[in-house]
Amino acid sequence: MAIDCKNSGAREDFPKDGPKPNYPEERSGWKGYVEWEKYPEKKADAASVLANYKFPGPPEFQLQQIPLTNPLLEGVRWKQYHYAMGDTLTEQPDISWKYVQQEKSADMNHVLQFPYNGEPPRERLVETALTNNKDHFVRNHGGIPEIENDAYFLEIDGLVNEPKNLTLADLQNEKLFPRQSNVVSLQCSGTRRIEQINEYPGDGDELINAPWGEGAIGTAKWTGVSLKKIIKHCGGLKDGGKGIHLEFYGADTYFKKGNVMNYVVSVPWRKVKLNEVLVAWEMNGEPLPRIHGFPLRTVVFGYIGARSCKWLYRIKAIKGPSQAPVQKKEYLYYTPQVGKQNAMYSNGFSIMEMPVSSAIMTPVTKEQIVHDGTISLTGWAYSGGGHWPERVEVSGDGGSVWYQVPDENLSKKYYHAWRTWKFDCPVDAEGWLEFCVRTWDNALNTQPTYVRSAWNFDLHVTSSCHRIKIYSINRSKPATAARLKQLEERGLDILPITRPLEFDLESDEHYDKVMEVMGGRDPEE
């Protein structure tokens, strides 16, 4: 009979009467790294351990209000999966949170505490074209292995002509490998997922479908060596690389549907050949933070962030795409008529290149703004796959009239990075208005008009025109100016608009004059 687990992420609340497995670390100096992929019998044993427990289900955060807490969600069952694996992994939730506190800004929005998913405050994200390391979003799938520099090496094997192990010193030796730096944006496929959740809920796994806002994107200058150069150093690929994918292995432990594994994904050789896959050890001129994959990670230009594997320990050349669950069974894009009732892994296509997208970061929806005929907006625009944002347009009426953001208000163009933007949008109307943004890239791709147009059951890639609702109070209107003056004289504020006025809306004399012009309330009989 399965052991019931409390709905608590505290280690002391995890059942003490379950199995006591021992899965030691694979290598000295690699704390928290358990090798699963080379040992099928170990994976089977771990699955049998998990089967002894009845873990709590995922929290409901779509059909009811998302908690107004920070972290939004805790990840209780994901913590418990790690506790069940014994001493090697039981501290991973605490270690992960330690690095959140050490390496990320104090005011991050913690979408999921463990495995850690977090994004920065909206307004700060677009203040600079390069994202500060402390503000760069984090989307982790497991804990954070603590790997020592001197103990580290990278395995390259599979369908390479000369398999090798390379230390970090080898990779950083410019006599062996020319160093490469690129400005690249990484974007989670869950960016802006909250818009889909709010209108049309879908799959509710709190890790795979975390309720991200508009901040699950960031841009950095990454430094390392092109994977193409590493493959050349290994004598090239067998069969000339035809049909080959490069499979990346991460040292974190991942769980899916009762099974245990390392994080494994792949990209095609044709992508690597373009020097668009970087094996990186530096982020914005600093060593990789541990939370971002120290000591080594991949950065795959223009692809979904899930292909940029952190804590990289192995690269294996294989025929065709990886059959590992993260590649085969996740990050799939379904049609709107596919859902819980009929979804299969085979009827969604794999998300690789990221589409054109954009977001308004300030102001935020439901903000009430007093202005003199213009409202200032800031945001980001991005297109993956080697495309770049060429034009950004903003509408203040829901999408009928569009204004182009002037070129001088856009940040520098890069082949593989976003552009931040700012715009003073002309606004005459008052009351609730819908602002939206759309981007055109250099291939004339633009965004679907509405969330509904691109809804999919796994809630990936919310690339529709981003929309916010703003209450406009136009000070250039005489009646509005008069009301603002009344409030100022009384030491009162017009905001929030939901707070009732503490005085009569008009004098009896003014009311009578208006009624006289109107001919009264009632028509003549």
Confidence check: pLDDT of 353 > 90: yes
Going along the chain from its start, the domains and CATH numbers come out as 3-350 (3.90.420.10), 356-444+464-524 (2.60.40.650)
Its sign, for the CA torsion 285, 287, 289, 294, is: positive
Q: How far apart are CA 280 and CA 227, in angstroms?
A: 10
Rg (CA), the chain: 27
CB 112 within 8 A of CB 137: no
Residues 6+ apart with CB under 8 A from 145: 30, 31, 32, 33, 251, 252, 311
CB 228 within 8 A of CB 271: no
Q: Residue 375: beta bridge partners?
A: 425
Q: How far apart are CA 342 and CA 312, in angstroms?
A: 35
Nearest partner of 285 among 79, 402, 470, 130, judged by Cα: 130
Nearest partner of 400 among 425, 436, 454, judged by Cα: 436
Q: What pLDDT digit, counting tens, does each position of 6-44 carry? A: 999 999 999 999 999 999 999 999 999 999 999 999 999
Report, as an integer, the average pLDDT of 344-357: 97
Q: What pLDDT digit, counting tens, does each position of 136-190 carry? A: 999 999 999 999 999 999 999 999 999 999 999 999 999 999 999 999 999 999 9
Tokens of 511: 């009311």
Average pLDDT score, the chain: 97
Confidence check: pLDDT of 492 > 90: yes
Distances (CA, A) of 202 to 214, 291, 337, 450, 453: 18, 29, 12, 17, 15
The number of CA neighbours under 13 Å toward the Cβ of 259 is: 14
List phi, psi (to 5°) of 441: -95, 180
Q: What is the pLDDT of residue 448?
A: 96
Report, as an integer, the average pLDDT of 418-438: 98
Q: How far apart are CA 41 and CA 86, in angstroms?
A: 17
Q: What pLDDT digit, counting tens, does each position of 71-105 carry? A: 999 999 999 999 999 999 999 999 999 999 999 99
Report, as an integer, the average pLDDT of 465-476: 98
- Which pTM does this prediction carry? 0.96
Q: What pLDDT digit, counting tens, does each position of 55-79 carry? A: 999 999 999 888 889 999 999 999 9
Q: What pLDDT digit, counting tens, does each position of 217-255 carry? A: 999 999 999 999 999 999 999 999 999 999 999 999 999
Distances (CA, A) of 452 to 61, 171, 393, 464: 20, 46, 21, 8
